[in-house]
Chains A and B, each alone.
Chain A
């Protein structure tokens, strides 16, 4: 059964810092990995989707990498802004099912 772990659970940084959020998974036979953003009491916004054949995806200030062999993905946020404050979720689809297994998320606060 796939287990997804996200470290750190919470992060508070000053504006302008470059950040790395980590996601690890136990079953490396994945189909894809998706990073989401969740604002308090709100839905999930898809940020980046990495297929198993890809090593990274980029969107604006966001870059996500995937290393299947080590069971890891990182989400890199460049030049963080207060508007980036949210919970970031990692979700991995694997094991004969395309249904994603979610991590608990990293709660990010970027203060001015």
Chain B
């Protein structure tokens, strides 16, 4: 069964360093998402991406964050200068469509645990 994959599973970085989290969405899906979950808290939406541009973003997704689909399969989240509070689990998700019908079901990857020291 197709699945969303993410690499690395765990990333440790120093405060102020840049990190790139990678995702491979399900191959025929058109919409891609990033979420984060700080330990013990709710899953929070960061950004959605369609047709090579951001379609929605939350207030969390500030200038320190960027997303890119560098080729036909990968979808990346970059954090330019990491802060301690960026430590969280980051989930990538994809869906076939965004709006009506069962095709808007989102499928999540296993996550990347980011630890900022």
How many A residues, CB 8 Å from partner?
A: 24
Q: Is the interface of A mostly helix, strand, loop or mixed?
A: strand
Enumerate chain B interface residues (CB-CB to A < 8 A).
6, 33, 41-45, 48, 56, 89, 91, 93, 98-102, 104-111, 113
Q: Which residues of B contact A68 (CB under 8 A)?
A: none
Residue contact B111 to A43, C-beta cutoff 8 Å: yes
A and B contact pairs by CB, cutoff 8 A, 12 listed? A31-B99, A34-B106, A43-B109, A44-B108, A46-B107, A49-B102, A51-B101, A91-B43, A98-B104, A101-B45, A102-B44, A105-B42
Question: Residues of A contacting B109 with CB < 8 Å?
Answer: 43
Expressed in whole angstroms, the Cα–Cα distance for A103 and B37 within the complex equals 12
Can you name the residue of chain A whose Cβ is closest to the Cβ of B103?
A49
What's the least CB distance linking B22 to chain A, in Å?
Answer: 15
A34, B107: Cα distance in complex, Å: 11
Judge whether A36 is part of the interface by a CB distance below 8 angstroms.
yes
Q: Which residues of A contact B42 (CB under 8 A)?
A: 102-105
| Complex alpha-carbon distance, A102 and B42, angstroms | 6
Complex CA distance for A104 and B33, rounded to whole angstroms: 19
